[in-house]
Structure 1
Amino acid sequence: MFWQKNLRGLVLALILVLILAACGGEEATPEPEPTEAPVAEPTEEMEEPMAEEAMEETAEPEEMMDEEAMADELPGTIVEIAVADGRFETLVAAVTAADLADTLSSEGPFTVFAPTDDAFAALPEGTVEALLEDPAGDLTQILLYHVVEGVVDAAAVTGLESAMTVQGEEITIAVEDGAVILNGTTEVIITDIVASNGIIHVIDSVLLPPSMTAEEMLPSIAEIAVADGNFTTLVAALDAAGLVET
């Protein structure tokens, strides 16, 4: 009986020793402390090129937008404005036929008294067609008679009595009841259309050089009147004046 108690105590003691040994053998593994990677401080040499590059990337689109906006704001040349306007189709056709488009698109500056399509339509029937058939002749002289060198705006025009044209003859200028009248009959109906190479004044009839009106234009008009058949009174008057052969 005694040895059984001793054996039980021995077993308990052995178990206790084993438990203590097991607890003592398990050491807690310390968790590694996180370390922060070193952050490289940017130097002035690194910062400046990056800043300049960023500025360049930002500036380029803005510069392009500014250039496009400026291009949109600038007026076109005299010819470009006439083409875009829509009231000067006959004038544009005449300028093109007479090979004057490049001249009127050059630096200039020029002042152009521009007849509308209605102004050309008011000429005797067939006159425009006849002029276009010989653009190097009368047509060129008529067109150049509508052009003055330099910029003569409305304020300057009203202070003049005449203006010398590129064609070589003068246009007379008068102010009547607030209206500017050229050569006694042609009215300036719109003024100061600004172009990149000059200025345009719109007129309600076609100007004819004084030397051409009597000596050159009337015979061609007479021929047109005779051929048309609707101007018998005019033809009779021209015949009586010896200006046409019937």
Structure 2
Amino acid sequence: MKRSTSLVAAGAAAFVLTLSACGGEEPAGGTADTTPDSSMESPMASPTEDMGEDMATPTDEMTGGTDMASMLVGPGCADYAEANPDGAGSVDGMAQDPVATAASNNPLLTQLTAAVSGQLNPDVDLVDSLNGAEDITVFAPVDEAFAALDQATLDTLSSPEGAQTLTDVLTYHVVTTPVDPQSPDGDYDTLLGEQLSVSGSGDEIMVNADSDNPASVVCGGVQTANATVYLIDAVLMPPAM
């Protein structure tokens, strides 16, 4: 699996995240609805337009009363904020919705949205689980990361036989606790049950830097109503894979 080496162009319209745990364990926050959606014509279709209104607008207490843009880290944040100054896909806009809904409004996360909402694989729909979880961190691969996957991998992930594999990959991108963008270093438990590591700071934060499948943070510390989001430039593979 080839890692994308280019940074994402901000605001380009085109996180595998999400989640039910490995081996049939259910992710925190609820059980995913895996009922196939016959209306989806393509496994990598455009993101769903309405992913729920079940989370209230965060209060100042939830956001800490701080300027959310000032808490962001990563080399792509300024360009993204400039290209998306307002609306549901902006930094402030994403804070109003739970994470799966917020991701569906982000123009860099259309393929991740497809993966977690049953569009890539009708047997894997993690929207309710993600939106219902509390205080999680999602490492969200941008569209260029999905574009770097070879066709054989995509074919596997979209097949009935690959549903568990896709679930494992997506749940590996979800950490069960908040990751502080100002002090991200550490090893973290994921919903899959495997750990991932975060190292560096500022514009040079890496995920699984010492593995064969590292990812760089494009923009991190983005807050949603129930999660902290880090946009990353590669799809992470669990150690067992």
Tell me the secondary structure at the aligned position of residue 211 of structure 1. Answer: coil
Distance in 2 between the 1:162 and 1:92 partners? 26
Distance in 2 between the 1:129 and 1:117 partners? 17
Deviation at 1:168, TM superposition (A): 0.7
Distance in 2 between the 1:86 and 1:178 partners? 21
Residue among 215, 223, 240 paired with 1:186? 215
Q: Alignment RMSD, CA only?
A: 2.4
Moved >4 Å (runs of 4+)? none
Tell me the secondary structure at the aligned position of residue 210 of structure 1. Answer: coil
Q: CA, structure 1 residues 193+178, in 2 after alignment: closer, same or farther (shift >3 Å)?
A: closer
Residue among 71, 87, 98 paired with 1:77? 98
Q: Max radius of gyration: which structure?
A: 1
Tell me the secondary structure at the aligned position of residue 142 of structure 1. Answer: helix
Residue 41 of structure 2 is matched in structure 1 by none
Distance in 2 between the 1:76 and 1:89 partners? 16
Residue among 140, 148, 154 paired with 1:114? 140
Residue 208 of structure 1 is matched in structure 2 by 237
Amino acid at match of 1:187: S
- Gaps in structure 2 of 5+ consecutive residues: 1-55, 60-87, 119-123
Q: When the two structures are aligned, how many residues end up with a matched partner?
A: 142
Contact 2:183 2:201 (C-alpha < 8 Å) held by counterparts? no
- Gaps in structure 1 of 5+ consecutive residues: 1-66, 213-246
Deviation at 1:83, TM superposition (A): 0.5
Q: CA, structure 1 residues 140+182, in 2 after alignment: closer, same or farther (shift >3 Å)?
A: same
Residue 242 of structure 1 is matched in structure 2 by none
TM superposition score normalised by structure 1: 0.53
Residues 57-82 of structure 1: CA deviation (Å, up to 9, x unaligned): xxxxxxxxxx99x8x97611111111
State percent identity of aligned pairs: 32
Contact 1:109 1:151 (C-alpha < 8 Å) held by counterparts? yes
